[in-house]
Amino acid sequence: MTATATRVLVLNSGSSSVKYQLLDMKPDSAGGSAAGTRLAVGLVERIGEETSRLAHTPLATGGDKRETEGPIADHEAALKAVAAELSADGLGLDSPQLAAIGHRVVHGGLKFTAPTVIDDAVLKEIERLVPVAPLHNPANITGIRTAQALRPDLPQVAVFDTAFHTTMPEYAARYAIDVATADAHRIRRYGFHGTSHAYVSRKTAELLGKDPSEVNVIVLHLGNGASASAVAGGRCVDTSMGLTPLEGLVMGTRSGDIDPAVTFHLKRVAGMSEDDVDVLLNKKSGLVGLCGDNDMREIRRRIDEGDERARLAFDIYIHRLKKYIGAYTAVLGRVDAVAFTAGVGENAAPVRAAAVAGLEEMGLAVDADLNAVRSGEPRLISPEYARVAVAVVPTDEELEIAQQTYALVNA
């Protein structure tokens, strides 16, 4: 890497999509920490279909968003199309200013506790984890291989969704099932959204003017997927997602916690197949299963019109959230802050208000005026008298991946 190489391309490869951001990690002029200026952002969707779509915004040049539609056969073609878009703005992947490519990798198992420079052995290990992440890791591997083929000389770094959770104590990570069976099949709670939980817990400490090692935070990452984590002094001690991202909170389309016997029942009594149950719990449950909508904006609109199904879906969502706030308060012993993040957490004031309503005895309260403020900045929404700070902290997984990637290749 040359001294002028300060750019990082962040790739988040899904099964039929690639999200990307090109960031410049040059320290700011004041000599502070890496700035993480966004040069370009974009998304390729519906890869493999006739109607693939690429949306690219060249932020560096201040240019408008460019959208192109037409078949993009596979990830290789997608990344080549992205490279062409970047080149058009003078930001091509062949630039000597590109320091590394950072890949979001969903499952890192127990082995990957930190970002890792990818070599053959690392790729093999990510591949070995496919049985526990069948939907995600294959797409991540394809993204890595494609990027390697485009720039074989460049460091490629894997940043794992599970890494932040590898500090969970054994009693929080292990399911209470037969140990031999669990170990033979690597069944345990891994947790996901780790990059976000790490970023948001650190930012929350910053908001409180403290070092992360001094604060205990409950992070509520409420997007379409949703998870909670208990972070003690900067280390994750519990999280709501488990072997897969299905466990825990009520999500847009996933059930979250459920009696596992429901699955036997569906097979034995309702005659559903393994795949039917999988689709039911992952795609047709949660808010969408309860009321037909998974967008919180639409659910709130329906509630305002008096829709009972939407109201019940909202109440179930909130009830689960409250249970996790209570549980993680007990796990942490002392809570300094509860931080809301991701699409719902950052934008849905009624969700934040309802989640802490009635929890005054636990030191939790939300100030209605502060909660109503719309802003992209980290902010406190609790009244001054409250013992526990309640915060809204916008997440930035791409920035976190870029920072971790850049730090690793500069180490």
> How many whole angstroms separate alpha carbon 248 and alpha carbon 321?
9
> How many whole angstroms separate alpha carbon 126 and alpha carbon 133?
10
| Beta-bridge partners for 104 | 159
List 48, 92, 138, 223, residue binding ligand ADP (CB under 6 A): 223
26 is in an annotated binding site: no
140 is in an annotated binding site: no
Q: What ranges make up the beta strands (E) of 82-239? A: 98-105, 116-117, 156-160, 216-222, 226-232, 235-239
Contact 51, 37 (CB under 8 A): no
Closest CB to ligand ADP among residues 146, 195: 195
> How many whole angstroms separate alpha carbon 209 and alpha carbon 92?
39
Residue 227 binds ligand ADP, judged by CB under 6 A: no
List 194, 343, 363, 394, residue binding ligand ADP (CB under 6 A): 343
371 is in an annotated binding site: no
Min CB(396)–ligand ADP separation in Å: 11
Catalytic residue flag (residue 28): no
Min CB(353)–ligand ADP separation in Å: 13
Residue 27 per-residue DSSP state = B
Choose among 343, 338, 344, 309: nearest CA to 324.
Answer: 338
**Please, what's the b/e burial string for 210-239 (b: 16 or more CB within 10 A of its CB; e: otherwise)?**
eebeebbbbbbbbbbbbbbbbbbebbbbbb
Closest CB to ligand ADP among residues 342, 408: 342
> How many whole angstroms separate alpha carbon 239 and alpha carbon 358?
23
Closest CB to ligand ADP among residues 116, 324: 324
Residue 245 binds ligand ADP, judged by CB under 6 A: no
Contact 365, 382 (CB under 8 A): yes
Residue 225 binds ligand ADP, judged by CB under 6 A: yes
Q: Could you say which residues in the range 346-375 bind ligand ADP, by CB under 6 A? A: 347-348
Q: Which of 161, 293, 336, 396 is catalytic?
A: 161
> Which stretch in 121-129, 162-170, 222-230, 403-411 sits in contact with ligand ADP by CB under 6 A?
222-230
Contact 163, 113 (CB under 8 A): yes
Min CB(180)–ligand ADP separation in Å: 35
Min CB(14)–ligand ADP separation in Å: 10
Q: Could you say which residues in the range 49-78 bind ligand ADP, by CB under 6 A? A: none
Min CB(395)–ligand ADP separation in Å: 8
Residue 252 binds ligand ADP, judged by CB under 6 A: yes
Q: Could you say which residues in the range 137-156 bind ligand ADP, by CB under 6 A? A: none
> How many whole angstroms separate alpha carbon 208 and alpha carbon 218?
14
* The residue to which tokens 């596992």 are assigned: 260
19 is in an annotated binding site: yes
Question: Residues in contact with ligand ADP, total (CB under 6 A)?
Answer: 13
188 is in an annotated binding site: no
Residue 359 CB-half CA count within 13 A: 29
**Please, what's the b/e burial string for 296-313 (b: 16 or more CB within 10 A of its CB; e: otherwise)?**
beebbebbeeebeebeeb
Contact 197, 345 (CB under 8 A): no
223 is in an annotated binding site: yes
The residue number whose beta carbon is nearest to ligand ADP equals 343
296 is in an annotated binding site: yes
362: tokens are: 């636990």
Q: Could you say which residues in the range 152-191 bind ligand ADP, by CB under 6 A? A: none
70: tokens are: 């037409």
> Which stretch in 5-13, 43-51, 130-138, 293-301 sits in contact with ligand ADP by CB under 6 A?
293-301
Residue 342 binds ligand ADP, judged by CB under 6 A: yes
Residue 224 binds ligand ADP, judged by CB under 6 A: yes
Closest CB to ligand ADP among residues 112, 317: 317
**Please, what's the b/e burial string for 95-129 (b: 16 or more CB within 10 A of its CB; e: otherwise)?**
eeebbbbbbbbbbbbeebeebbebeeebbebbeeb
Closest CB to ligand ADP among residues 95, 347: 347
Closest CB to ligand ADP among residues 34, 296: 296
Q: Where do contacts with ligand ADP occur on this chain (CB under 6 A)?
A: 223-225, 252, 294-297, 342-344, 347-348
Q: Which residues are catalytic?
A: 161
Residues contributing to the annotated binding site for substrate: 104
